[in-house]
Structure 1
Amino acid sequence: MSSRAFSDAYFRLLQRFIPPEIAQHREAANCARMFLISHTFGPILGNSVPLALYLLDPTPGWDLLALGLSINAFWLFPFLLKAGISYTRLVSASVLNLNFCILLSLYHNGGVTSPTTPWILIIPILSLFYIGGDPKVRVRLLLISAACFSIFFALYLCIQPERNDLPEYAQHGLGIVSTLAALCYVATMAIYYGRIFDASRELEAEVRRRRGVSEELRGAVIAIEAATAARSEFLARMSHELRTPLNAVIGYGQILKEDAVDEGDAMMEKDVDKILDAGQYLLRLINMILDLSKIEAGRMTFDARPLAIDAVLAGVADRHRERAGAAGTRIAVTCAADIGPLRGDEQRVIQILDAVVENAVTHTPGGLVSVSAEPCADTALFRICVTDTGAGIPPEVLATLFETFSVDRDAADGRYGGTGLNLTLVHRLAKALGGTLEAESVAGSGSTFTITLPRGAVVEARVASRTVRDLAHAA
């Protein structure tokens, strides 16, 4: 196994001992990993001191056993952390045990002249690594260390330890072993700390990069909002400018048709009908574009009044019966008796239903179009279903049915070609009313459009689709 693989496996093992409430905070998780490294790798280096004493001291005593037990007690701390013991309490207990190990070794091996003196440096280093930026706990750990040193000096002055008979060469050997172990221990902590520092620098660089991207996106959003406002104003102005002459064209066309009928000029009547059809189509297209612009800009207004849904269904069906009859299509209307009182914008509901029924009649020659209204399981909603027995909608078309400017999808695919606006408009209009418009279809078995709307007052949605501003906030 390579060193990299071993390192990754070791850190995955350490991660299992970190409680979830600590793991979700980056700084706390880094401190906990440092704590686990020192309590898994540290006892291995620390045991080199009692082992060297056992091999070099001709008369090892009880103090050597106590030292070995206290060092190996560090193995318990990872399991206590995993068991849910408070991290700060474990840190305090660990520093207390570390002081005991080091001062016990000093007490029985010459005090400040002991070969194990370098281990004293470990205490403040770990006190800083374990806690990170918490000043209260850091002060507590330093006070624990200060209290331990005070007790040690008091005992050392009042109760002199027995003279150690460790030979001079053995003391030098113990000093070398102790110093090397302490250096390895500090080096391990420093390497991991450097790894954390490098990761923090990379994270800071990524944060700066994302902040720059966010600023660029915010500027783009402002520019897009300005362009959207300009577009909405342009469409509002142009729709008015286009409607005025177009209404005049339609009005004069109707006058010409009446003259043609009076004069019995069938050829002229046919030509005028073409003019009126084109004018009505253009007027309808302008109205759809203007409505889409209002919905996207959040300027669509609604008039909530008592809604007679049975009369709405009957009116829409009657409006399409002549055209449906010419194609051999039947229209059936049913309204549930328990649908109850409703409120809504009648004109907008008619607009949605009219577009869906027109679409069904167009694509169901010689078939049946069923229109029904019923309450939903959610008492705050009701639904209208328009089901046809036509050829159905292919899956690839159904996936983009309500997207803007997709050709050959709705009832506007007459002699002038389709823009795909009608279903797109009523889909967003249903959302703006606080409802939904959904389509289901099986090729060869027909389609079902389900309009779900609130039973009560109109719920006004400012924007029916996700905007660039939403994307900017998400980033």
Structure 2
Amino acid sequence: MAFLSETFTAPSFYLFIALLMVPIMLHQNGAKDLKENSGYGFMQIGSIYLALGGFLDFAEETTYGAFLNDLAVGHFNIDDILLVAIYAPAILSIGYGLSTWLPDIKHLSEEIERRKTAENDLIDKLQEIEHLAVRAEEANHAKSQFLSTMSHELRTPLNAVIGFAEMLRTDYARDNLDKQDEYQQYILHSGQHLLDLINDILDLSKIEAGKVIIDYNRFDTADLVEDLIQFQHIHIKNKNLDIHVANEGFLIISDYRVLKQIGLNLISNSIKFCEEGRRISISLSQKNNHLELIIEDEGYGIPADKMKSIMEPFTQIERSYSRTQEGSGLGLSIVNKFTQLLDGDFILQSEEGVGTKATVIIPLPYDPYDWDPGSDNPSVL
């Protein structure tokens, strides 16, 4: 009992227990989580020496270890012996171990961080692949929809051309000039429709392939509007549409062909989805070195749930099997892509049952009054 009493009342006992726990924990954690090397071994040895020194310090304070106080080597007593033989080597061993072990731990930490970064990159790549897979599925669906639509759109006018051409060869048509004129009109309309479809597909394929080259030239916006209306004159007349133009005419430098294609697609859409006698407004103005083209109609309008997807290729408002309007579903997509080629913005606003407003804003960086057609560097406004 006396020994136990001495043990639990001696402060050096608790120091010994604390020092003893160090090599034990190093051994256990080293075997599980920590990186072991020569430096780690020196740390273990040094910590064992410290524990041994702590034990001897504790022992000399007990009755049974009192003889240690009488130990001496020359002029050195037990405390000097412990300092020189145990504590100093232990501290040196631990110091050397730390200097060797910690850099390896740092490298290990960096490797763990690198692997975490690589893991995060992999997760990002997987998410990107998943996103691309969704886009590919959407593209595949769009392609299927396009083929379904085109099979109808191409066959119908082709059958009409062939059918009415054959009827022109009949005796009935040869003897009836009115019928000849009617059949020719049908053939002309069907041929024009086929040409429009093919032009849409070719325009989109050229844009996607990067084959469209912007060709700047000087022209009057009045000529552009006149061309747009003249090109759609027959369709406007057939539906008895009211065309309102707000444009006084002014010179600009841009790509006439691309702007004309943008305008034709927008007007064609407005005509297609307007009932007879409705109004279509065409406005051209210049604001802050930008051309603003606005085409507004009183047509059917676009449902709110279709606004996000309407400018995707081959997307149409009506389903392919219930469609009442002709077209490839490429018009707005082509407008959007042509506008981007001119570094502009395409804004589409629509309300179902009210109408649609399409706004195209194109930058005009060049001065039309100080421009040499043969120069590669027109004057910037």
Is 2:121 the partner of 1:199?
A: no
Is 2:344 the partner of 1:435?
A: yes
Q: Quote the offset at 1:438 in angstroms.
A: 2.9
1:390 to 285, 299, 304: 299
Map of 1:174 onto structure 2: 87
RMSD over aligned Cα atoms:
4.9
Q: Quote the offset at 1:191 in angstroms.
A: 5.5
Q: Give percent identity, aligned residues only.
A: 22
Map of 1:342 onto structure 2: 252
Give the TM-score taking structure 2 as reference length: 0.52
Q: 1:391 to 1:286 in 2, by over 3 A?
A: closer
- Check the 8 A contact 1:335/1:372 in 2, yes or no: yes
Q: Secondary structure at the match of 1:167?
A: helix
Aligned AA (2:200): M
Map of 2:335 onto structure 1: 426
Give the TM-score taking structure 1 as reference length: 0.43
What are the superposed Cα offsets for residues 147-188 of structure 1, whole Å, 9 maximum, x if unpaired?
xxxxxxxxxxxxxxxx99963234445336524653673476
- Check the 8 A contact 2:217/2:253 in 1, yes or no: yes
Q: Quote the offset at 1:189 in angstroms.
A: 1.1
The equivalences for 1:174-323 within 5 A come to 174-175=87-88, 178-179=91-92, 181-182=94-95, 185-186=98-99, 189-190=102-103, 192-196=105-109, 198-199=111-112, 202=115, 264-320=176-232, 323=235
For the residues of structure 1 that align with 2:342 and 2:83, how far apart are their CA atoms?
Answer: 90
The equivalences for 1:88-107 within 5 A come to none
Aligned AA (1:182): G
What are the superposed Cα offsets for residues 87-116 of structure 1, whole Å, 9 maximum, x if unpaired?
xxxxxxxxxxxxxxxxxxxxxxxxxxxxxx
2:310 to 374, 386, 401: 401
Which ranges of structure 2 fall in alignment gaps of 5 or more residues?
1-46, 59-75, 130-157, 368-381
Q: Secondary structure at the match of 1:428?
A: helix
How many residue pairs get aligned? The number is 258
Q: Quote the offset at 1:342 in angstroms.
A: 0.4
Q: Secondary structure at the match of 2:268?
A: helix
Aligned AA (2:297): D
1:362 to 240, 257, 272: 272
For the residues of structure 2 that align with 1:204 and 1:430, how far apart are their CA atoms?
Answer: 40
Q: Secondary structure at the match of 2:314?
A: coil
For the residues of structure 1 that align with 2:192 and 2:236, how far apart are their CA atoms?
Answer: 19
Which ranges of structure 1 fall in alignment gaps of 5 or more residues?
1-44, 57-162, 218-245, 459-475
Q: Quote the offset at 1:266 in angstroms.
A: 4.1
More helix by share: 1
Aligned AA (2:225): L
For the residues of structure 2 that align with 1:194 and 1:316, how far apart are their CA atoms?
Answer: 70
Aligned AA (1:425): I
The equivalences for 1:51-130 within 5 A come to none
- Check the 8 A contact 2:302/2:317 in 1, yes or no: no
For the residues of structure 1 that align with 2:346 and 2:175, how far apart are their CA atoms?
Answer: 48
What are the superposed Cα offsets for residues 28-67 of structure 1, whole Å, 9 maximum, x if unpaired?
xxxxxxxxxxxxxxxxx9xx9xxx9xx99xxxxxxxxxxx
Map of 1:452 onto structure 2: 361
Q: Secondary structure at the match of 2:212?
A: coil
For the residues of structure 1 that align with 2:205 and 2:232, how far apart are their CA atoms?
Answer: 28
Q: Quote the offset at 1:370 in angstroms.
A: 1.4
Q: Quote the offset at 1:425 in angstroms.
A: 2.5
Map of 1:35 onto structure 2: none
- Check the 8 A contact 1:408/1:418 in 2, yes or no: no
